[in-house]
Structure 1
Amino acid sequence: MSDFVPVAERIVDAILASEPVTAFYAGDHTHDDRLPDHSAGAVAERTAMLVDAGNALAQLDVDELDPADQVDHAILTTMVERRLLELTEIREHEWNPLLHNPGPLLHGLMARRFAPVAERLESLAGRLAAVPDAVATARAVLHDCPRVHVETAAGQFAGAAGLIRDELPALLAEEPALAGRITPLAARAADELDGFAAHLRGLDADGRSPRLGRRQWEARLWHTLDTELSAAEVLRRAEDNLERVGERIRATAAELTGGPATDETVRRALAQLAEERPDNDTIVDFARVTMAETTDFVRSHGIVTVPDDECVIEAMPEFARGISVAYCDPPGPMETADVPTFYCIAPAPADWSPERVESLYREYNHHMVRNLTVHEAMPGHFVQLAHARRYRGNTRVRALGWSDPFVEGWAVHAEESLADHGFGGLPVRMQQLKMQLRMTMNAVLDQLVHCEDLSEADAMRMMTGRAFQEEGEAAGKWRRLLLTSTQLSTYFVGYTEVSAIAAARPPSVTVGAWHDAMLSHGSPAPRHLRTLLERVSKSTRVAARRG
């Protein structure tokens, strides 16, 4: 065993112990009774731990490690450096109340049946008991918060209180002996969360700008992407891709409608497709229909091995709404219990006008939902992350260090792959190209909003014009651009890098076998995946020569 393995395992243990969110989503349940501690003392302790971890990794001779451990060393080093940047430079825990929302950790214990109810309720009791201190810490450390983060967090904290009141009683009914101890903890936690939501709604000041500024945004981008590309190169490539995809969608629209290859034909084609759409009452059931469709298609065309894991499709919990329309919530790579992946979709909020609701479902029409299911589930996130959970290395580094560009890049590549194989015909091809425009525009806007002070009006014109988005979708994306930074660049950069790897498939290897190989190494950054796959290509060439 190399010196790297014990060092890496100690660092992984330290990260799991100091980050309950990371531990829970990784599938490690050692710390399920705790909430994150964002107090000044805890942040200082984590910072010191990460500095020590970085020093320990720097002292190792990387050249002596085997290729897999060299990759894990690079991944772990990037993880440590990213965390130090966040804690010491970005310091988002001091201005983003969304980071203090305990809702996801409470929901996870209630919704995921990874252990007997009594065991999960014992952990939940610990977390509920910790809510008052967590709220007090949030009040103490948060200052100068952006208005958009405050408004979104107020809704999510109220949603977390509702989660406790609405869902916990059914769980306690399965273990009534624990109700006497947990019910008072739950009542106080819900009241504290409601109180903090009210506190947020009562803040008068606009607070700081949600825009990071170029220095911090580029620093975060470098760690988020883990690529050799500069911010300027990302922007240049995205602008070029908008031109290429614009030509393709105009040609596809002309083929679909019989009209000329113009923007007006694209809008006419999209308006035609938008007439076939779900509504709040049917969106989740229709997503289930599309899951069956995509699964049959992937299997029959041999695109990738379909795992036998369970995927549950349901409405997005209220505490999680306000940032994206859908997400995939898988079991962690370290999870040992047989629990499902959740593919969640958010219906339109109850306070939206009928016009805005119609706009949402014109965007997420039947054909777009088919493409969305490809991205979030089959063969996108659900399939890729199920494959990733089967990876076993010398350390647990890849269980924690997944790459957003690889995860999102694979999902966008999956969209293109199914469209190329004919899934859904021209209607889905149109929506997939529209999604290509959207995710490419995301990378452009991500940079212009946070670094160039792009106005809302100009961003809306770019989204509804060049990217053909509905007004409601564009308005939601503007909000997401302010609530997040660099994450919206992962789709485009990841797609370009993952697609390049897919295109490097050796001629003697089938598409399905190459996709399986791409998914067999966990979720490393594309640059690391290229290194790991070189051995597959070399062995294939050797076998071909011998044959």
Structure 2
Amino acid sequence: MTTTANGADYTEAFVAAAAAILDEHLALDPVTATALGDHRFDDRLPATGSVARADELARRTARLDELAALPPAASAAESVDREILAHHLRRRVFELTELREHAWNPLEANPGTALHLLLAREFAPAADRIRSMAGRLAAVPATLTQARADLEAMPAIHVETAIGQFTGTRTLIATELERTVAAANDPGLRALIEPAAEAATEALTEHLAWLSDRLPEATGDPRLGPELFARRLRLTLDTDDDPDTLLARAESELERISEEIAETAARIDGGRPGPGQVRRVLDGLAAEAPTNHTIVGLAEQTLVETTAFVRERDLVTVHDDPVEIVVMPEIHRGVAVAYCDPPGPLETANLPTFYAISPTPADWPAERVTSFFREYNCHMLRNLTIHEAMPGHVLQLAHDRRCVAPTKVRAAFWSGPFVEGWAVYSEELMARHGFGGDALRMQQLKMQLRMTINTILDVRVHTRGMTQDEAMALMTGRGHQEEGEAHGKWRRSLLTSTQLSTYFVGYLGVRDLVAEVRAAAPGATEREVHDRLLAHGSPPPRHLRTLLGL
């Protein structure tokens, strides 16, 4: 029997099984291992092809059987970890046998993330990372050859997007990798990396030509359809909701948020809510926009302000883990103005969390820059700082790092819905306590509208045949979104499935849990309630309910 610092018992059989399953998982998926902070497999790409997939399927299925044969769990905490681990294995079996993205999604074969992870953080000396990079680059030609053999009925939007992303990977080799090698100033390392880089670049160029040739005949349907979407929804988001239930909740929330944003606009504008008032108020707030020269300084200022506000109102315990505000790399710009980039949960090196802030891409025309910063205006940046940093992702992940458990299951398989749900909830929390006044409240509600409409798009596009015109009308009308942003979200709804629902599902889960904890402990302070929620790592909300004893 193993006992944690908080008193939860685990059977030794499960602790051993969890360690073996996680170790096998990281070896099978070396890119995920690097992202999580385990660097034993940094010189590899995942094995591909039918033989490798069959081997992985057999391994994952055997591990499920192994978990099912274990003796009963010793505690609720162990039961949760068992279910999280089994859920991950079931999800991977589903991906291999039913979703089969290797057969239709060309984005799956892009080695860009695998390469970028070795350059983005100094988790090891540059020489070590360059050697690992040489190993991954050497595997690129065979990986792409296999991808071409596997791909069949590709959707045109996936091929178009893949052409852009593979081009970015080729540019990464020529720029980011070259800068890292030049800074190392080691002729031996250069002699090691250059042949592998040249071969990978040639393979990428060949693959790009192949994708371009197939674009005219790419007629695959990007929509999953009702049955496959429903199964993926449950497995990706670890939710009990079926698509119909999720859609009904989203459409109900859309009505509530629309009423609240109209009432807030009326307070700012004066008078009763009326046609066009919300858009008029949002346009006025958008005029208070940063520039490429002021955006980083404004982010630094808002991080100081939000941190002080959380401490002053005693909303949640603040941990002083290192955070660096950095300028977003060029290859990531143009999508959002900010993101949180934490070190992997298995990382042993002492690395800071990055709060990345984005000037616009250098080649954007002036009118596009203006539009971007109207959308991500000064008030919206305050709301984004709440979401990405304080008390959102940065602070939640600081609490996560302090969770002690006998297995690494919750660290390795953390829940996206919980992480994003807490960040969305934290926006509402700060607005409710008056941070930024009604101007920030407008932006927070606009983001909630966007999050809720994303879920409606997700379900309706993949299960009900929603058209582009219908989606654009919903986003630009009820969601008050700019045309360019709405068009990008339409494309994203076709390129992904279930991911757009992550924020909404997580927000409802966190919001409901907060209410339940308050009802169970009516004398608890705001900080005590939130600290309880954040004390168990980042499990799916339905499992957090068990861990909280609700």
Give the Å deviation of 1:311. Answer: 3.0
Q: Which runs of no fewer than 5 residues in structure 1 stay unpaired?
A: 538-547
CA distance in 1, matches of 2:254, 2:278: 15
- Aligned mate of 1:71, from 74, 80, 98: 80
Indicate whether 1:179 and 2:190 are aligned: yes
CA contact (8 A) 1:155 1:197 kept: no
Indicate whether 1:514 and 2:529 are aligned: yes
Indicate whether 1:135 and 2:144 are aligned: yes
Indicate whether 1:532 and 2:532 are aligned: no
Indicate whether 1:523 and 2:538 are aligned: yes
Q: State the partner residue of 2:25.
A: 15
CA distance in 2, matches of 1:100, 1:313: 32
Q: State the partner residue of 1:265.
A: 277
Range with bigger deviation, 345-354 or 359-368: 345-354
Match of 2:402, as an amino acid? R
CA contact (8 A) 1:360 1:472 kept: no
Q: Secondary structure at 1:512's aligned position in 2?
A: helix
- Aligned mate of 1:145, from 151, 154, 164: 154
Q: Secondary structure at 2:164's aligned position in 1?
A: helix
After superposition, the C-alpha distances for 1:396-441 in whole angstroms (9 at most, x for unaligned) are 1112211121111111001101111211111110000111111111
CA distance in 2, matches of 1:326, 1:202: 36
Report the RMSD for the aligned CA atoms in angstroms: 2.1
- Aligned mate of 1:197, from 196, 199, 208: 208
Range with bigger deviation, 273-282 or 78-87: 273-282
Q: State the partner residue of 2:306.
A: 294
After superposition, the C-alpha distances for 1:46-90 in whole angstroms (9 at most, x for unaligned) are 11111101111122244x421111100010111011111111101
Which structure 2 residues correspond to residues 448-467 of structure 1 after superposition, within 5 A? Answer: 448-467=460-479
Give the Å deviation of 1:322. Answer: 7.8
Q: State the partner residue of 2:226.
A: 214
- Aligned mate of 1:89, from 98, 104, 110: 98
Match of 2:52, as an amino acid? A
CA distance in 2, matches of 1:181, 1:95: 35
Give the Å deviation of 1:502. Answer: 1.6
Q: State the partner residue of 2:35.
A: 25
After superposition, the C-alpha distances for 1:126-185 in whole angstroms (9 at most, x for unaligned) are 112112222222222222222222222222211122112212233223251312211222
CA contact (8 A) 1:288 1:313 kept: yes
Q: Count residues with an aligned counterpart.
A: 534
How has the CA–CA distance of structure 1 residues 8 and 228 changed in structure 2, closer, same or farther, with 3 Å as cutoff? same
Q: Secondary structure at 2:90's aligned position in 1?
A: helix
Q: Secondary structure at 1:312's aligned position in 2?
A: strand
Range with bigger deviation, 5-14 or 458-467: 5-14
How has the CA–CA distance of structure 1 residues 280 and 478 changed in structure 2, closer, same or farther, with 3 Å as cutoff? farther
How has the CA–CA distance of structure 1 residues 146 and 344 changed in structure 2, closer, same or farther, with 3 Å as cutoff? farther
Give the Å deviation of 1:280. Answer: 4.7
CA distance in 1, matches of 2:524, 2:195: 60
Indicate whether 1:239 and 2:251 are aligned: yes
Indicate whether 1:385 and 2:393 are aligned: no
How has the CA–CA distance of structure 1 residues 283 and 136 changed in structure 2, closer, same or farther, with 3 Å as cutoff? farther
Match of 2:134, as an amino acid? A
After superposition, the C-alpha distances for 1:7-32 in whole angstroms (9 at most, x for unaligned) are 12111111111011221122111111
CA distance in 2, matches of 1:157, 1:524: 33
Match of 1:38, as an amino acid? T
Q: State the partner residue of 2:6.
A: none
How has the CA–CA distance of structure 1 residues 261 and 490 changed in structure 2, closer, same or farther, with 3 Å as cutoff? same
- Aligned mate of 2:438, from 426, 429, 436: 426
Indicate whether 1:155 and 2:164 are aligned: yes
Indicate whether 1:469 and 2:478 are aligned: no
Indicate whether 1:409 and 2:421 are aligned: yes
Q: State the partner residue of 1:116.
A: 125
CA distance in 2, matches of 1:74, 1:427: 43
Q: State the partner residue of 1:48.
A: 58
Match of 2:98, as an amino acid? E
Percent identity, please. Answer: 54
How has the CA–CA distance of structure 1 residues 496 and 187 changed in structure 2, closer, same or farther, with 3 Å as cutoff? same
CA contact (8 A) 2:262 2:278 kept: yes
CA distance in 1, matches of 2:326, 2:496: 24
After superposition, the C-alpha distances for 1:198-238 in whole angstroms (9 at most, x for unaligned) are 43233222331211111111100011222222221111111
- Aligned mate of 1:482, from 486, 494, 500: 494
Q: State the partner residue of 1:396.
A: 408
CA distance in 1, matches of 2:224, 2:334: 20
Q: Secondary structure at 2:355's aligned position in 1?
A: strand
Q: Secondary structure at 2:384's aligned position in 1?
A: helix
After superposition, the C-alpha distances for 1:258-304 in whole angstroms (9 at most, x for unaligned) are 13213411111101001011345544453343333322322332222
CA contact (8 A) 2:170 2:204 kept: yes
How has the CA–CA distance of structure 1 residues 279 and 202 changed in structure 2, closer, same or farther, with 3 Å as cutoff? farther
Q: State the partner residue of 1:543.
A: none
CA contact (8 A) 1:362 1:470 kept: no
Give the Å deviation of 1:531. Answer: 1.2
Q: State the partner residue of 2:370.
A: 358
Q: Secondary structure at 2:535's aligned position in 1?
A: coil
CA contact (8 A) 2:131 2:192 kept: no
CA distance in 2, matches of 1:461, 1:507: 44
Match of 1:126, as an amino acid? G
How has the CA–CA distance of structure 1 residues 110 and 319 changed in structure 2, closer, same or farther, with 3 Å as cutoff? same
Give the Å deviation of 1:449. Answer: 0.5
Q: State the partner residue of 2:340.
A: 328
CA contact (8 A) 2:229 2:497 kept: yes
TM-score normalized with structure 2 length? 0.92
- Aligned mate of 2:241, from 225, 229, 235: 229
CA contact (8 A) 2:333 2:360 kept: no
CA distance in 2, matches of 1:312, 1:135: 36
Match of 2:55, as an amino acid? E
Give the Å deviation of 1:306. Answer: 2.7
CA distance in 2, matches of 1:143, 1:388: 42
CA distance in 2, matches of 1:478, 1:316: 25
Match of 1:162, as an amino acid? T
Indicate whether 1:499 and 2:514 are aligned: no
CA distance in 1, matches of 2:475, 2:459: 14
Q: Secondary structure at 2:548's aligned position in 1?
A: helix
Q: State the partner residue of 2:70.
A: 60
Q: State the partner residue of 2:111.
A: 102
How has the CA–CA distance of structure 1 residues 286 and 130 changed in structure 2, closer, same or farther, with 3 Å as cutoff? farther
After superposition, the C-alpha distances for 1:449-500 in whole angstroms (9 at most, x for unaligned) are 0111101111000011111111121111111111111011121111111011
Q: Secondary structure at 1:520's aligned position in 2?
A: helix
TM-score normalized with structure 1 length? 0.92
CA contact (8 A) 1:103 1:319 kept: no
Range with bigger deviation, 167-176 or 450-459: 167-176
Give the Å deviation of 1:120. Answer: 1.6
Q: Secondary structure at 2:536's aligned position in 1?
A: coil
CA distance in 1, matches of 2:162, 2:299: 28
CA contact (8 A) 2:334 2:361 kept: no
CA distance in 2, matches of 1:171, 1:72: 40
CA contact (8 A) 2:84 2:413 kept: yes
